[in-house]
């Protein structure tokens, strides 16, 4: 393995090329210092996976790279995970980084470890921004059915077709063109089989299943049979949860469940009980991964991910709508350009020249779905009445949430963080959930918790 730089005053990385094969470094590299690294491997892997899963980047790629012994001089080793992070892995991102993460559909006949394994359509597509200055990670879920134009052509197709047609390069160029020319610094492609093995190696993940999920999907060759409620899902059941499509929302419902699974993975990886299981992932994951992230860039992501558990992790889905039955031959997700620009500005701090600053509409026009998740019947109806008295006329009720919650959530369904924060300030209660896991037709979903019942009393 190529010797890494030991310059503690490495300059910031140069601006990258939009190409996913750009060789420019995204990390300013300094030399780590730690002893008995094999004994600490479990902790090191925890750091790698915690940082990269939280960002949904580098998780499996980092696990596939054994850390070289020349990085660890024979002096005093760290005594805690914090010391490993502070002294052991002193790699730092020098600027914000955009990484395209793709989960690739199974390719019939492709052998694990072969390049053919990554030539299928992208079942999952995520654009992730890791921002070392803001100590934050923003994740944009791009529905696989999003209607796009392939660069250099006038052909319209679904975005998940780009990787199958031209590999990671075409996929990155397509996403960049769709998102106003945002730079894609790196890519990670993960075979679908990796997810199941990862979850099993972690001993399962705890997820709330909101409804009974039971049917046989002949297209995906998958039998889905899940009971509702909180439960620990193994790899097989986690895949069933992710691929379920019989809720009337199709691919968009899957995007919501993928965001739920990412949060569950993050929670699991930060639990000390999983440390002994993590080393088993090394090597076994390698055959499922393709990436152009370098070792030092992966380690730099570790440092950038250290604040993620403090709440600076934001998820959003590309705003849009379902195509009408008579609109196109195929079924598409039609991107909302105004919503896209708002998300790029608020989550990615990206607004190129020629794109007007997204103007926030009056707070009273916010389309709000209200869902009861408290022990008090009628709580959602009561809150809606209060909102109407306060001038919020664009509100509606949705079916009760099956899981009882103590605290009210304000879910930023379409990525309008500014108005969601203003709404929370007006209400005087409720925590902001920057994720697209609420009612699909809403701009904001208020999931009413037991704290509302206490306020009414």
- Give the start-to-end residue ranges of the domains of the chain: 97-290+314-348, 363-456
Share of the chain above pLDDT 70, in %: 69
Q: How many Cα atoms are found within 13 Å in the side-chain-facing hemisphere of 32? A: 30
Flag the least confident range among 194-198, 317-321, 386-390: 194-198
Sign of CA dihedral 87, 88, 92, 98: negative
Sign of CA dihedral 242, 408, 55, 51: negative
Alpha carbons 137 and 46: distance in angstroms, whole number: 18
Alpha carbons 99 and 454: distance in angstroms, whole number: 44
Q: What is the pLDDT of residue 154?
A: 82
> Residue 191: beta bridge partners?
104
Q: Is the pLDDT of residue 202 over 60?
A: yes
Q: Which two tokens stand for residue 41?
A: 């491997």
Q: Do domains 97-290+314-348 and 363-456 have the same CATH topology?
A: no
Q: What is the mean pLDDT of residues 373-392?
A: 93
Q: What is the pLDDT confidence band of residue 449, given thresholds at 50, 70 and 90?
A: very high
Flag the least confident range among 166-175, 272-281, 330-339, 408-417: 272-281
Q: Could you give the dihedral angle defined by the CA atoms of residues 262, 46, 118 and 179, in that order, rounded to the nearest 10 degrees? A: 50
Q: Is the pLDDT of residue 374 over 50?
A: yes
Quick one: CATH architecture of 363-456? 2-Layer Sandwich (3.30)
Q: What is the pLDDT of residue 342?
A: 92
Pairing of strands 97-104, 186-191: parallel
Q: What is the pLDDT of residue 190?
A: 84
Residues 6+ apart with CB under 8 A from 335: 146, 147, 178, 318, 319, 320
Q: Is the pLDDT of residue 437 over 80?
A: yes
Answer yes or no: are the C-beta atoms of 104 and 94 closer than 8 Å. Answer: no
Q: What is the pLDDT of residue 71?
A: 38
Q: What is the mean pLDDT of residues 294-300?
A: 69
Answer yes or no: are the C-beta atoms of 318 and 146 closer than 8 Å. Answer: yes
Q: 147: helix, coil or strand? A: strand
Q: Is the pLDDT of residue 221 over 60?
A: yes
Pick the CATH number of 97-290+314-348 from 3.40.630.190, 3.30.360.10, 3.30.160.20, 2.30.30.830: 3.40.630.190
């Amino acid at each position: 393995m190529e010797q890494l730089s030991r310059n503690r005053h490495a300059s910031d990385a140069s601006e990258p090329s939009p190409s996913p094969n750009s060789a420019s470094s995204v990390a300013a590299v300094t030399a780590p210092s730690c002893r008995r690294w094999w004994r600490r491997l479990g902790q090191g892997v925890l750091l790698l996976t915690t940082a990269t899963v939280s960002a949904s980047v580098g998780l499996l790629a980092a696990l596939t790279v054994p850390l070289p012994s020349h990085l660890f001089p024979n002096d005093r080793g760290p005594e805690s995970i914090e010391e490993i992070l502070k002294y052991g892995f002193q790699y730092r991102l020098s600027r914000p980084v955009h990484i395209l993460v793709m989960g690739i559909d199974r390719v019939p006949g492709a052998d694990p470890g072969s390049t053919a394994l990554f030539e299928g359509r992208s079942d999952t597509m995520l654009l992730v921004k890791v921002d070392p200055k803001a100590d934050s990670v923003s994740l944009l879920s791009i529905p696989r059915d999003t209607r796009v134009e392939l660069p250099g052509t006038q052909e319209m197709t679904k975005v998940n077709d780009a990787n199958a047609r031209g590999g990671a390069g075409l996929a990155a160029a397509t996403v960049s063109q769709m998102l106003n020319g945002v730079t894609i610094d790196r890519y990670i492609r993960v075979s679908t089989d990796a997810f199941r093995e990862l979850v099993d190696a972690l001993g399962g993940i705890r997820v709330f299943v909101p409804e009974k999920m039971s049917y046989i999907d002949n297209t995906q060759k998958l039998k889905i049979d899940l009971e509702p409620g909180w439960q620990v899902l193994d790899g097989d059941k986690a895949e069933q949860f992710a691929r379920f499509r019989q809720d009337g929302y199709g691919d968009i419902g899957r995007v919501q469940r993928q965001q739920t699974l990412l949060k569950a993975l993050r929670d699991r990886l930060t639990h000390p009980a999983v440390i002994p299981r993590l080393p088993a992932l090394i090597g076994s994951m390698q055959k499922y991964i393709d990436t152009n992230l370098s070792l030092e860039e992966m380690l730099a992501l570790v440092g950038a991910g250290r604040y993620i558990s403090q709440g600076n992790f934001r998820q959003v889905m590309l705003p849009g709508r379902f195509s009408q039955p008579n609109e196109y031959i195929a079924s598409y997700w039609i991107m909302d350009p105004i919503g896209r620009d708002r998300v790029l500005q608020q989550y990615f701090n990206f607004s190129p020249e020629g794109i007007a600053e997204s103007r926030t509409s009056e707070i009273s026009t916010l389309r709000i779905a209200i869902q009861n998740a408290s022990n008090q019947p009628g709580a959602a109806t009561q809150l809606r009445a209060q909102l109407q008295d306060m001038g919020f006329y664009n509100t509606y009720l949705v079916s009760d949430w099956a899981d009882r919650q103590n605290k009210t959530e304000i879910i930023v369904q379409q990525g309008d963080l500014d108005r969601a924060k203003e709404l929370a300030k007006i209400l005087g209660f409720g925590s902001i959930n920057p994720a697209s896991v609420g009612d699909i037709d809403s701009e904001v979903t208020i999931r009413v918790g037991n704290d509302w019942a206490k306020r009414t009393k």
